[in-house]
Amino acid sequence: MNVADAVVEILRREGVTTLFCFPTTSMIEAAVAGGIRPVICRQERVGVHMADGFTRVTNGKPAGVFAMQYGPGAENAFAGVASAFSDSSPILLLPLGHSLEQAQVFPLFSSARGYAPVTKSVETIVQPEHAPAVMRRAFNALRNGRPGPVMVELPREVVGREIPGNAGDFGEVRAARSVPDTRDVDDAAKLLVEATCPVILAGQGVLYAEASDELIRLAELLQAPVMTTVDGKSAFPEDHALALGSGGNGFTGAGSIFLYDKADVILAMGAGLTQHPLSTPPLPSQPKLIHSTNDTRDLNKTYRTDLALLGDAKLTLEHLIAAVADRLDKRPVQRAPATEIARARASWLTKWQAKLSANTAPINPYRVIAEFQNVVDTADVIMTHDSGSPREQLLPFYRSKKPRGYLGWGKSHQLGTGLGLNIGAKVAAPDKFCVNIMGDAAFGMTGLDFETAVRCGVPILTIVFNNSSMAIETRHMGLSHEKYRARDLGGSYANLAKDLGGWSERVENPGQIGEAILRARRQTEEGRACLLEFITSEETAFSHGDSARP
């Protein structure tokens, strides 16, 4: 058995059935010989996003895997890996490497050196007999602690060499979980029970721990409203009476009120609390902060941590539920925020109703979001956004009902990320209606990979908001646009999608939105990759700050 075959055998043992990839790398042929299907992308950055979307839906079981060549392939993939690193996504990267003799020679790009800042770990297989141990350490990094991308570099003259024995030395890698100190859990329960208005802020750690049921139980026990970060959106069902929606740059009306006006204790559960306006709401300074995380680097990072709960989110929630129940001793808490949440939400939606129901042409993008939810049960959907206006328009108003029913991202936010995430999500969950919403600028970055979905039989729906402009840049590009029309973009994306082999429609009449979405869904059910191009207005009003207030 050579190194490539040994790596493939280990991938198979770990449940991997799909290799996202781009040539030239011998891992593609080895994977196919070993029974693993290749999905060959159009560009490496998008291929990494596909592996990222896949692993988010599977919670890393199995992990998404991406393989590429040395040099240009590894260089092109960098942006996708940086995005996965910023969002703590556990993907495995298998770049071919330059020969060992040339690996350190200037100016050749070395994956082992170049990717160190944006991977959880990176290691090169220097000797064939090292392959099982290197792969074991890689899967240990994927399984344990804070998730993140892991890289194993395969030098081109090593990957074909025979290894002594076989891959049997790999062994079994299990996830190890820990719980917080009992005293800290009890102190947290005391703070939460005695609070006037505790608010839970749930991050994607809840998703990776598969702890949404426990989160619901704690919220209901405490009668505590729940907001999610952008990465954590869908960790708590947004049709629940205690749901405040997601918070980042945008808020729901109820989310803004409860986080900034009412909270006296905040439980950040499975959240890193990285100070980044596009993914995590800035926290007020007055409430006490209980911070639950599995990474010590998160504690006291941006905000003073009043009480730390270090451990796995699911186990932490289980212990918190027991401690809170013990303190309540079957007595209900003396608060019932659901009515006030509903009232605040209704008032906020009334404020935005003119846009959500606009009957104008060009179409208001908020009308598309509203119509989608009118005709599709979001419990059956995996939705993701793109950077810029689509993210800000979608996040506050789209209600996700099931864990991983929404793939949120944003700390490292390249345009076009959502398309690859959507393709990977559909490969992981073929029974789901997988949808990404992107703007015309984002389509320009990665849109040719729509052909990957067509060619590989991955029936996604891509929705393009085409306003022929970078509308979100209106405030930043006034002079350049006035003199050179610098914000203008153009194209007929529905026609392009047809030329790439997919099904598509161009929609200009707001009265046709719902039926077009249903037609597209039926086409995906028949196995076709679809694109809907909505001709939209340059909408720049978002539910930010005061604009989220009723």
**Which of 214, 263, 235 has the alpha carbon at shortest distance from 407?**
235
Q: Which residue has the tokens 């040395």?
A: 70
Q: How does DSSP assign 101-145, residue by residue?
A: TTTTSTT---HHHHTGGGSSEEEE--SGGGHHHHHHHHHHHHHSS
The pLDDT-based confidence of 490 (bands split at 50, 70, 90) is confident
The predicted structure's pLDDT at residue 101: 78
Enumerate domains of the chain plus CATH numbers: 3-170 (3.40.50.970), 182-340 (3.40.50.1220), 357-548 (3.40.50.970)
Phi and psi at 352, nearest 5°, equal -100, 0
The pLDDT-based confidence of 102 (bands split at 50, 70, 90) is confident
Judged against a pLDDT cut of 80, whether residue 545 lies above it is answered with no
Q: For residues 468 and 122, what is the distance between their CA atoms, to the nearest angstrom?
A: 42
Strand ranges for 242-376 from DSSP E: 243-246, 265-269, 288-293, 307-310
Condensed to tens digits (0 to 9), the pLDDT of residues 318-340 reads: 999 999 999 999 898 989 999 99
Judged against a pLDDT cut of 80, whether residue 167 lies above it is answered with no
The pLDDT-based confidence of 481 (bands split at 50, 70, 90) is confident
Condensed to tens digits (0 to 9), the pLDDT of residues 114-155 reads: 999 999 999 999 999 999 999 999 999 999 999 999 999 999
Quick one: which H or E segment has residue 276? none
Q: pTM score > 0.85 for this model?
A: yes
**Which of 234, 231, 235, 239 has the alpha carbon at shortest distance from 218?**
235
The predicted structure's pLDDT at residue 443: 95
| Across 85-113, average pLDDT | 90
Condensed to tens digits (0 to 9), the pLDDT of residues 451-466 reads: 999 999 999 999 999 9
Q: For residues 237 and 254, what is the distance between their CA atoms, to the nearest angstrom?
A: 15
The more confidently predicted of residues 498 and 171 is: 498
